[in-house]
């Protein structure tokens, strides 16, 4: 079940591609001391294709064989065991740290293009996600689902035109399917500008179905703007000369609360 009012959430992302070039594995959560401090992990990312939740990286997710020295519990994978990869390592992590909840996050910047089709048939989308997250091979690993739609009724890598009500409809379908014993969360924009991304979708209405929002209060300014401006990446508050009004954490949180999103459902991304 989701946390009650006043409970603290200390969540970190585990990215499945990190096992390659970064050489960062689930065991690193233990050796770094992070596992003792975090309460929740967002496992990123599952894909969204043709309006359905799909696997992001089969090899990293559940096929990669871990040697004893790479494994959370010091036991090597065998060639014939039913589950390997990150999912099995997360299972071992949860056995070692029972307080940790793991949430499977779908979408992200690169894979949000499928949400438009998902919004056309929310019930079918929710069913596909439930079938994948609750697959018998790894159902015990996950405690819920996270939707990282960048961005409902707005532009990210691609532009979405599903309308302001789509997020609420989608979230309601997910909650109906996953029920009250699973976490259902979403990563959302932190664009607090007038007429910006927060204004373009019904985040307050959708919040009724989500346990919390992961407010992405980062990437306000960055190197993707070829000609600048140069500015702090993640300003906490506004300042004289900020290139874009509303592009700061305080403005985003204030706007979400003003629209009716409960403060207890706002998780600050850093």
pLDDT band for position 229 (cuts 50, 70, 90): confident
Least confident of 129-133, 218-222, 242-246: 218-222
Q: Is the pLDDT of residue 124 over 50?
A: yes
Q: Is the pLDDT of residue 127 over 90?
A: yes
Q: Is the pLDDT of residue 4 over 90?
A: no
- Structural domain containing residue 81: 11-268
Query: Could you tell me if residue 4 is inside a domain?
Result: no
* pLDDT on residue 210: 98
Query: Could you tell me if residue 96 is inside a domain?
Result: yes
* pLDDT on residue 6: 54
Mean pLDDT of 95-109: 97
Mean pLDDT of 141-165: 97
- Supply the mean pLDDT for the chain: 96
Query: Could you tell me if residue 18 is inside a domain?
Result: yes
Q: What percent of the chain has pLDDT over 70?
A: 98
* pLDDT on residue 31: 98
pLDDT in tens, 43-72: 999 999 999 999 999 999 999 999 999 999
Number of compact structural domains in the chain:
1
Tell me the DSSP string of 56-71.
S-HIIIIIPPPPTTTS
- Angle, CA 146 vertex, CA 54 and CA 39 arms, to 5°: 125
pLDDT in tens, 164-173: 999 999 999 9
Query: Could you tell me if residue 2 is inside a domain?
Result: no
150 is catalytic: yes
Mean pLDDT of 25-36: 97
Q: Which member of 36, 58, 150, 225 is catalytic? A: 150
Contact 134, 179 (CB under 8 A): no
Query: Could you tell me if residue 6 is inside a domain?
Result: no
Query: Could you tell me if residue 3 is inside a domain?
Result: no
CA atoms of 235 and 190, how far apart (whole Å): 11
Q: What percent of the chain has pLDDT over 90?
A: 93
Give the containing element (helix H, strand E) for 46.
Answer: strand 40-49
Query: Could you tell me if residue 5 is inside a domain?
Result: no
* pLDDT on residue 254: 98
Mean pLDDT of 154-171: 97
pLDDT in tens, 65-99: 999 999 999 999 999 999 999 999 999 999 999 99
**Main-chain dihedrals φ then ψ at residue 214, nearest 5 degrees:** -95, 100
**CATH code, 118:** 3.20.20.80
Tell me the DSSP string of 90-154.
HHHHHHH-TT-EEEEEEETTTTGGGHHHHHHSHHHHHHHHHHHHT-TTTTTT-SEEEEE-S-TTS
């Amino acid at each position: 079940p989701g946390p009650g009012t006043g409970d603290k959430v200390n969540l970190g992302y585990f990215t499945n591609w990190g096992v390659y070039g970064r050489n960062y594995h689930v065991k690193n959560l233990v050796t770094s001391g992070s596992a003792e401090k975090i309460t929740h992990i967002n496992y990123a990312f599952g894909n969204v294709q043709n309006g359905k939740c799909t696997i992001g990286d089969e090899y990293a997710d559940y096929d990669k064989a871990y040697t004893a020295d790479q494994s959370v519990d010091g036991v090597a994978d065998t060639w014939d065991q039913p589950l390997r990869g990150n999912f099995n390592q997360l299972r071992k992590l949860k056995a070692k740290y029972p307080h940790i909840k793991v949430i499977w996050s779908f979408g992200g910047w690169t894979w949000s293009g499928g949400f438009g089709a998902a919004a056309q048939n929310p019930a079918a989308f929710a069913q596909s996600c439930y079938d994948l997250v609750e697959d018998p091979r790894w159902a015990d690993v996950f405690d819920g689902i996270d939707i990282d739609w960048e961005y409902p009724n707005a532009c990210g890598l691609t532009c979405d035109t599903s309308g302001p009500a789509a997020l609420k409809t989608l979230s309601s379908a997910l909650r109906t399917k996953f029920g009250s014993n699973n976490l259902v969360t979403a990563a959302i924009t932190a664009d607090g500008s007038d007429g910006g991304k927060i204004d373009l979708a019904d985040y307050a209405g959708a919040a009724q179905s989500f346990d919390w929002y992961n407010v992405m209060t980062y990437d306000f300014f960055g190197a993707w703007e070829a000609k600048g401006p140069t500015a702090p990446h993640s300003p906490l508050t506004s300042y004289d000369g900020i290139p874009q009004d509303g592009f700061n954490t305080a403005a985003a949180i204030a706007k979400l609360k003003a629209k009716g999103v409960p403060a207890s459902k706002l998780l600050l991304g850093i």
